[in-house]
Each structure stands twice: as structure tokens, then as C-alpha cells.
Structure 1
Amino acid sequence: MMNGEQVKKKKLLMFAHYYHPDVASTGQILKELAEGMLHAIDITVICVVPSYTGKVATEYKTKMFYKEEFNGVKIIRIRVPEFSKSNKISRIKNILVYFFGAMIATFKVGKIDYVYSISQPPILGGLIGVLGKCIKSAKYIYNIQDFNPEQTTAVGYSKNKLILNSMMWFDKFSCKCADKVIVVGRDMIETLKDRFKGKNVPNHVFINNWIDEKEIYPLPADNEKVVAFKKKYGLENKFIFMYSGNIGLYYDLENLMRVIKRFKNEKDIVFAFVGEGSVREKLVMYKEKQGLENVLFIPYQDKADLIYSLNVGDVHWVVNAKGILGISVPSKLYGVMAAGKPVLGVLEKGSEARLIIEETGCGHVTEPGDYEGVEEIINRYIDLRNVSTIRNDSTLEDMGRQGRKYLVKSLTKEVSVKKYIKEIESCGRS
């Protein structure tokens, strides 16, 4: 009976760009999605060899394609050239090799019922899905994690109107070709509708991203590995504002560093940045130039160690640059909530992350660009910490608990994966 049931499983081809063991947030989400759907759908993933940092391990430099299997998911990895995150040309070359390699790899898999791709790399992620749909005569599910060129425009990465208009045309084309578009924020539904002026809007649905609440959860302050982490980076007896994740273009971190500078003489306060990204070196240079001794940069943590680093932070930043409303949802929010930590949000009114924070009461939020407001919130948290120390007040802990409670109820992997299976299967047979 079991063999018969397995034969009947529909087959899905997932274009993931980055996938386990790469630490990209989308790669981790897609790993959990693929493994979570395995009981219902047979999954093959096409992705690059592990290379999120820009470097490629020696064992992946001898062939163009590598076939693997991990936790029941079949994987075809594409060798790509190494790149520097600060060098646009090398990044573009890397992405193009993935794109064309993914097309070749598509012919290496058999019959496929569903093709699934995400909006990474920008524009090409959607086009890969469209071409995969045509090659395999399959139903196409397009998962938009970030809208582009809207994101590109918002952060001023490019102002070339010809390029931006071409990007918009191609991504709208991908949306039109999709049998279903899945967005990860309520605000993103409005962006999709605006693209099509409310007419002939593609079939779409909203499903939150998530974090595995069984992997990330609150730990006591005296946990051995939490204590060891603090000792390793000199964080003992400090009140820690932590930013954990991609130190990239879309978070206005260079301007937020100027706010942090106002607290440079607060010796018992630390601002810790955990991760890598394209603006990290600029932040390091600013720290050194301004003599910000209470600003610390910590390398990316392995996923297995993320629970400890997240629990080290007393308050966590969840930020986006102005103009990201309806374009992207910072997935780091879910990790903060899972660890039961309060949030310092710099997010536009009506954005998905801000809606969650306001609905749960798990943090304080202000608008991007409101640097006085950011300073005020930092001071508010410092005051709460002082009150907590003097009067044994639990306000900070209560905020974190409220976030954790909501996440366990509504933002778990199990809840979202069930929705994905339902929406994919509702596309019907090809």
C-alpha cells in the first residue's frame, strides 16, 4: 500500500538559488518547505553549490552539476564562479551562470507536475519558473519574497529607467504566467494589485514565512552556551541591542549607526551586529572612525547555534529602509519572536512586520527615517532595563513572551507548510 501511495505523489521542481547548507534566509525557508511537503509531494531542488559567502568549496569545483540527496529531497547543484558581494559585475556573472545552469539542469529531471520558484535572484527567479513551466509542461507557482524592481528603486540601487522598466515588464510577465502567485505579507497583496492597476490581477494568496519554533525558543540567561557566547565576545553584564541577519542594502543601517553613535559613552550598552552583507565593511569603517567601542561585529552563526546568539540579545532590531512597504518582509522577525525577545522595529505603517509587532505588543516601532524616534525607543528600552533591575519589573520579558505566544499559534512551519501544500495542489493536474 505504501509503495502505491508513493507512486501517486505529484512531483515538484523547486528552483531555490541558495539551499542548505547556505545560510541565506530564503535557502533555509525553502529547505524547511521542501522537507515539510515531502509526505505529500516528491521534491527536486535545483540550486547553486554552497556559495552564499562568495566562496566555493574545493569539492564543488570539478564538475558543472552535482546530484545529491538530503533528508529525502533530491538536489541538483550548479557550480558557479566565486564573487564579491561588493562587486556588482562578479555578482551578476554568478547569477547568470546559475540562471543558464538551471535551465540545463531542468532537462535532467523527469516528469514534473509543478514548478516552483521564488523572486530570487531578482527578475531571473521568476523567469526561471516560467521557462521551467514551459520545458516541463507543468503548473507554475511563483513565490514572491521581494518585489523587484520596486525594491531596487526604493534603495536607489539603480536609477536607470530603461533597466527598471524592463525589470517591471519581465516580472509582471512572470506573474501573468504563474498559475498561482504566493506573497509573504498582507501589504504585498496591494503591491501586486497596484502592478496590474486592479485589472486581471493574477491568481494569488498570502502565506506568512515562519521559523521552526522547536529549533528556536527562549533559553534561561544561565544556559551554558548562552553564557559561553557572551564570554567569547565580551558581552557579560551588558544590555545588548542585537541586529542578526543580512547586513545589506535594504535596512538603512548606515544612518542607524549615526543614531547608535549618540550612545557611544554608554559603557554597559552594546550594539551587536551578527552576520555578513554588502554594507558590513562600511559599518565597520564608521565604527572605527567614530571610536564606537560599544559596537561589535560578530560572524554569521551556524543554524544550530542561532538559538544561542538570538537568546544573547536583550532587544533585537527588525528594520527596513523607507519605501519597502509592500515590497518585502524582514524574516528575522520570526526568529526574534521565537526566542521570546522584544523588538525594536523601524518599519513603515501598514507593513506586515509592523502589523505583527503592533498586534502582538512584542515591541516598539517607529517609521524609517525617524531617527529621533529610534533614539527615543532605545532610551525607552534602557529605562525598562533599569526599572527591571531595581524593581524586578517583567515588562521586557512580557513583551517577548507575547511575541512567542503569537508565533507558536500562527507563524509556525507546520501552519504555513500546510497552506503551501493546499495551494500547490489546488493548481490541479498539468
Structure 2
Amino acid sequence: MKKNLLIYAHYYVPDTASTGQILRELAEGMKDKFNITVICVVPSYLGTIDDKYKTQKYYREEINGVKVLRIRVPEFSKTNKKSRVKNIVSYFFGAMNATFKVGKQDYVFSISQPPILGGLLGVWGKWIKHAKFIYNIQDFNPEQVLAVGYSKNKLITDAMMWFDKFSCKRSDLVITVGRDLVETVEKRFKGKKVPKTVMINNWIDEKEIYPLPEDHERVAAFRQKYDLEGKFVIMYSGNIGLYYDLENLIKVVERFKPGTKTADGRDVVFAFVGAGSVLDRLVQYVKEHHMDNVTFIPYQDKADLIYSLNAGDVHWCVNAKGIKGVSCPSKYYGLAAAGKPVIGVLESGSEVRCLIEDTHGGLCCEPGEYDKVEENIRWFIENADSAEVKEMGIRSRENLEKNLTREVSVKRYAEEILKL
């Protein structure tokens, strides 16, 4: 008899949120071991909601053998804090209520999104369903909030810490996604009564994202569409949000004037693919400073991600200072899958920096070391057509195939849950 597993996912397919994608692959990868139900919002990651999801409070669906119970939430704007909070709170209370609608559950699995509330939903599910609770921490809060100075209110951040530690204590298992994140759990509890914690890397489906030749029809079409043909493309792909120090990194990009060329004579262009709360500020900055070698490209559908990632020659993988042990940029797995070299702006000892350094898959420096960032970009420009650059990407792909596949990680999730 298969056991029942309930997953609380703020976002789920078809939403493009990276946690939604990971949870979809996890759910579909474990459905041979569990009967899986997901409680999530109606598709709304970018803030708008399709008319067909505006009439009822709940929607039941089945996607690839996974039962999905969707909650209607209000539309929101990513730049308006109030509307975002209202949207998140609607999900939280809607999910609490939806818990009564999903029958008996043996395991409850929740993720650290939305911050604090994701963990509390897991505790709620554990109580209501008398189930084992697995808390998957992708990002630690309030540590993340404190790292980027999003809130300086000690009362709020102390309350957040109390609640999230409460969720950790009530869990039967904490699963986190990096060596440095395991240390954060230990630090929170100062080594005393530390909840049972294991580390399982995030992943990418290596059969969906893989290296393609430059002249591949769809890669060439993407380059043509965004005027990247024949150019050396330094790409940032993903959420253009608060935790990446992009407003300072764009000033480093400004040091490379339009007309900068690689050793083999290609124009250097910086492409930012995605959306997020900092995008408008970057667009404004680029406009004011006449940075004609910078281009902004909208989010790509998941099915097209393989073409956009392959259209970059070198990719950024960055975090703001203080994010070590707090969050793990899962975009790295896509870059490694596409076999691309990486410009890492990541703290020493953080999971992804360790992966890049272990494989010699790119050049890294600390967040805030802007002259070093410039130096690393210059190195790639000067060595653009070298075997050394290509081999960085090849090594990353080889390591991914061996250690960071969806199959390897999903199998470990199932094993750890069934041990409880």
C-alpha cells in the first residue's frame, strides 16, 4: 500500500517559480512511492490570474498523476508590498482550510516559501492529519531578510526567528539544500537539540536542459530575436530581485563600454533574462547611462529555457553578501546542465561556490569585491574563444550528470521520508 503525502507548495506548475518547478519534479518523481496531493495557489506567479480561476474558491486538478488542490488568491503587483502581503496571507489561510479537504495523510511536506508561513503550514498539517512532517528549507528566514536589510525591525525579525525555529522543532525531518545551510540549522540551535537534518542538493532535469551547438536552429533564433547574433553574450538568467546585489553589479557592467570586443573580435553584450522587483531600477539605470550593450529579455517558458541558456556564452551566478548559509542559488544547476562557464559572485564556503570551485567550472569572488568581478569578466572577454573556457562548462556538465541529477536527489528524498 502506497502512503499518502501532502505537499504545501505556494506555487506549482505551470507557474515559473523555481521552487514550483522543483516541487513538481519531486512530486512526479515520487509518485511511484506515494499518493501525492499538492495544495497551492491558482497560477499567479507574475501577479495576474486567468479568468477561469476567478469564479470558485478551490479548484481540483490532476497533473501527471499528482492531485492538485488550488486556492484562489487576489492578484498582486510585485512592486507593491501591501498587495503581495495580502496575496500571501490569502494563500496561508486558504491552505489551512484546504487541509481539511484532502483526506488522510501519512506525511506532510512543506517548503520554506512563503517565509515563516511555509513552515507553519507544515506544523498545522502535522497536527490536523496526525502525520510526519518534513520541512524542506530552501531559504532561511529571518536570516535572509537580515542579510539584505529588508527589515531592520528587531521585534519582527525576532518573532520570525521564534516561529521558524518552532517549525524546525516540530518537524520530524529538516531537509536543506547545501552544506552551509546544514550549518545554519546547527547555529540556530547552538548545537543543542538540533532537529534531525539532512542535506540533499537541488537539481535540474538533465534530460530537459543540455548543451546545444551554437548553430542550433532554436538557439540561433533566440539570438537573432534579441540581437545577440555573432556577439559574446554574458547572461544573467532568473529572478531579478533583492537578494542578488544587481544594482551594484550593473555599475560594474557599466565599466565595459559599448563597443568592447573579445579577443576574437566579437562585440560583448550583457543580457538579463527574467523579471523581479529590481528590474525597473536596472532598466532605468541602463537608460540613463546609455549602456547600449545591455539588453533585457522577458522570462522564458520552461520549455524554451534550454535555448535561452544555450544562447549565453558565460553566465552569472550571484548572491548578495550575507546569503551564505541562508539560500542556495538553484539557477546554478541549469547553467551546469547547459555546460556553461560561470562568473560566480558568491561567498567562500557556500554550496554553489564549492561546486564551481570543485569542478573548476568558472571564476568566483566574494560579493562586494567589484574590482575582482570586473577582472573576472575581463578574463572571460580576453579568453572568449579558448579551450579553457569551453572546458569549464564541460566539467560542470560531467559533475552534474554524476552527482546532481533529478533522479539522484529525488530518490534520496523518498528514502529519507520513508525512513521516518
TM-score by length of structure 2 reads: 0.98
Structural mapping, 1:33-52, within 5 Å: 33-52=26-45
SS at match of 2:411: helix
Match in the other structure for 1:88: 81
Q: CA deviation at 1:405?
A: 0.1
Distance 1:23 1:226 in 2: 21
Distance 1:358 1:176 in 2: 34
Per-residue CA shift, 1:137-176, capped at 9, x if unaligned? 0000000000000000000110000000000000000000
- The question of 1:119 aligning with 2:112 is answered yes
Matched AA of 2:344: G
Equivalent of residue 417 in structure 1, options 407, 410, 417: 410
Match in the other structure for 2:132: 139
Match in the other structure for 1:330: 329
Matched AA of 1:89: K
Matched AA of 2:221: A
Structure 2 unpaired stretches of 5+: 261-266
Distance 2:87 2:259 in 1: 43
Q: CA deviation at 1:396?
A: 1.2
Distance 1:264 1:425 in 2: 56
Structural mapping, 1:388-427, within 5 Å: 388=385, 393-427=386-420
Dislocated runs of 4+, deviation >6 Å: none
Equivalent of residue 252 in structure 1, options 245, 248, 262: 245
Structural mapping, 1:351-430, within 5 Å: 351-385=350-384, 388=385, 393-427=386-420
Distance 2:294 2:258 in 1: 11
Distance 2:342 2:34 in 1: 36
Distance 2:281 2:36 in 1: 40
SS at match of 2:317: strand
Distance 2:173 2:167 in 1: 11
SS at match of 2:371: helix
Distance 2:152 2:392 in 1: 41
Q: CA deviation at 1:356?
A: 0.2
Distance 2:30 2:237 in 1: 28
Distance 2:353 2:194 in 1: 26
Matched AA of 1:38: K
Q: CA deviation at 1:395?
A: 1.2
- The question of 1:63 aligning with 2:56 is answered yes
RMSD, aligned CA: 0.6
Distance 1:203 1:66 in 2: 35
Structural mapping, 1:289-300, within 5 Å: 289-300=288-299
Distance 1:396 1:41 in 2: 43
TM-score by length of structure 1 reads: 0.96
Structural mapping, 1:230-245, within 5 Å: 230-245=223-238
Distance 2:158 2:259 in 1: 47
Distance 1:335 1:115 in 2: 28
Distance 2:78 2:138 in 1: 20
Distance 1:40 1:189 in 2: 26
Equivalent of residue 153 in structure 2, options 153, 160, 173: 160
Residues matched between the structures, number: 414
- The question of 1:182 aligning with 2:175 is answered yes
Distance 1:312 1:326 in 2: 31
Distance 2:101 2:182 in 1: 35
Distance 2:140 2:259 in 1: 39
Match in the other structure for 2:22: 29
SS at match of 2:383: helix
Share of identical aligned residues, percent? 67
Q: CA deviation at 1:266?
A: 3.2
SS at match of 1:278: coil
Match in the other structure for 1:349: 348
Matched AA of 1:119: S
Matched AA of 2:389: L
Q: CA deviation at 1:264?
A: 2.3
Q: CA deviation at 1:394?
A: 1.2
Q: CA deviation at 1:289?
A: 0.7
Matched AA of 1:19: Y
SS at match of 1:17: coil
- The question of 1:270 aligning with 2:269 is answered yes
Q: CA deviation at 1:265?
A: 2.7
Match in the other structure for 1:3: none
SS at match of 2:9: strand
- The question of 1:149 aligning with 2:142 is answered yes
Distance 1:166 1:320 in 2: 25
Distance 2:320 2:18 in 1: 18
Match in the other structure for 1:4: none
Matched AA of 1:281: D
Equivalent of residue 121 in structure 2, options 125, 128, 135: 128
Distance 1:329 1:421 in 2: 21
Structure 1 unpaired stretches of 5+: 1-7
